[in-house]
Amino acid sequence: MAVLSRPTGSRAGQPRGTARTALALALVGGAAYFAADSLSFASGLACHGEYAVLSASRSAGQSYGGSRVPLASRGGADASFAKGDVVKAICPDDDVRYPGVVSKVNKDGSFVVTWDDPDGGPETHEVQADAMQKVVIYKDYKVGEAVQAVCPDDDNMYDGVVSKINKDGTFQVKWDDPDGGSEDNPVAPKDIKYPPIPFDKLEVGQKYAGKIRSVLDFGAFVDIGAEGDGLLHISRISKERVENIHDAVEEGQEIECWISGKRDDGKFGVTMVEGLTESARRGPADLTPFRDLSPDDWHPGVVARIAPFGAFVTVTVNGASADGLVHVSQIKDGFVDNVADEISEGQEVQVRVQSVDMDTGKMSLSMKSGFGGGGGGGGGMRAPSDLGPFQDVDSSTWLTGKVARIASFGAFVTVESGGATADGLVHITQIKDGFVESVQDELSEGQEVQVRVQSVDMGAGKMSLTMKSEE
């Protein structure tokens, strides 16, 4: 059979060396995803186990309904093993899990596992039960069902259709494109699996049987037999708050779950709480109206949703609305143990805009008072400085000031006049003659600078400064 005309896939029983490579690639891919988008859905590693995968009931016409069926080929932790059982076991040589078969049951409760492909290493090992997962081979494929199976001609996996159920327990698979090779072949059940469910066939609210692939602090990846794994966020495991995800779910656990949301980039989320769906995600908001806001100014907001790491607050300024993150460390002055103890969804709060990243479309907010004192939680705004002594300072007079803090749009400088002290803003356009790309490249906190008073707004309690010469 010619190989090039068919899309190749992973062999049902990979050599152990190949498995190591695949694992490394999966870890790299996972790391790249988290770096790009750690707070939203995850597509998962998009790879199925060495054996057949079944996640939703299907007919010969390939219906992708969400009704629950046994997870026959996903395996799972099982302390009862017998000789001949197909398992995935951790090899003591490298602590990596590989497919194998139980060849002996020892009196001390351990098992001898014979690996599918020793790849130059020992053919067998003694393995403890807690390092093994039983793989139940699914054997209930029907004639006419579309499957993916390993072709005996080249040991690659291709798309095909079950054309006959053989008496010896194998299935006759007719290939979609024989390309000069065999038109069909007998294939053992362990070398067959259902093709992944297309992303466009997933519907929010559909119920699936799933298996936990991996568990991280913020959520778990769940295989439901789709083209990628879904993210089960820690907040969607239970109606009750889950403090430690490892107390709630574990790798290899079989669960019932529902599609909670989908994204245009092919990622989706799942939930273990029926009806707990994601609201449709909006496109990125225009953060331009928020870009030049002073971090000293307070704005009304409404808590849109909370998470273990903070709260997302919808802020409206001059008719423009956008969501920003109030990190848990910015909710109030002092330590916050539980976000839900401090604020709740729908609550009206006062926030300050700390930073706006136009490239990533993210805005950071704070509910803490500006300068250490005062109460947190959006109240406790510090009293405005007395700008009276600066109101009559001639715009040609140079004052010595010290940079109090810098922001993307400029720097706040503390100046003194007539014994009074106040902060004024040196906008990025007023730092020097010519273009300034980054405030941090020109100034640093604590730096002593020379400034002139441009304007004083007594009503708003704001003072504008410049470092540019009059010319």
Mind listing the pLDDT tens digit for each residue in 326-335?
A: 988 888 877 7
Q: β-strand 254-262 against 207-215: which pairing, if any?
A: antiparallel
- Does residue 300 lie within any of the structural domains? yes
Is the confidence at residue 267, as pLDDT, over 80?
yes
Residue 180 belongs to some domain of the structure = no
**Average pLDDT score over residue span 305-324:** 82
Which domain covers residue 405, as residue numbers? 388-466
Total domain count, the chain:
3
> Which residue do the tokens 């503390």 mark?
414
Structure confidence at residue 158 (pLDDT): 87
450 in a domain, yes or no? Answer: yes
| Residue 455 pLDDT class (50, 70, 90 cuts) | confident
76-99 pLDDT per residue, tens:
344 478 888 888 888 888 888 888
Residues near 275 by beta carbon (within 8 Å), at least 6 away in sequence: 205, 258
* SS3 category, 189: helix
The per-residue pLDDT for 5 is 31
**How many angstroms separate the CA atoms of 179 and 207, rounded?**
39
Domain boundary among 312, 335, 366: 366
The CA distance from 171 to 167, in Å, is: 9
Whole-number Cα distances in Å, 95 to 16, 143, 315: 12, 40, 50
172 in a structural domain: no
Find out whether 224 and 197 touch, Cβ atoms under 8 Å: yes
Task: Examine the domain organization and report whether 327 and 395 are in the same domain.
Answer: no
- Single-letter amino acid, residue 44: G
Reported as a pLDDT band with limits 50, 70 and 90, residue 120 is: low
Higher-confidence residue: 112 or 120? 112
Residue 304 sits in a domain whose CATH number is 2.40.50.140
In the predicted model, what is the mean pLDDT of residues 112-122?
74
Pair 347, 406 in one domain: no
Q: Is residue 409 part of a domain?
A: yes
> Looking at residues 423-431, what average pLDDT do you find?
87
| pLDDT for res 75 | 37
294, part of any domain: yes
Residue 42 within any structural domain of the chain: no
Q: Is residue 140 part of a domain?
A: no
**426 and 460 assigned to the same domain:** yes
Choice among 39-43, 286-290, 451-455 with the minimum mean pLDDT: 39-43
Average pLDDT, the chain: 74
Q: What is the pLDDT confidence band of residue 301, given thresholds at 50, 70 and 90?
A: confident
Q: How many helices (H) and strands (E) does the chain have?
A: 5, 25
Tell me which of 300, 331, 366 is where a domain ends.
366
Whether the pLDDT of residue 58 is over 70: the answer is no
End of a domain among 115, 134, 153?
A: 134
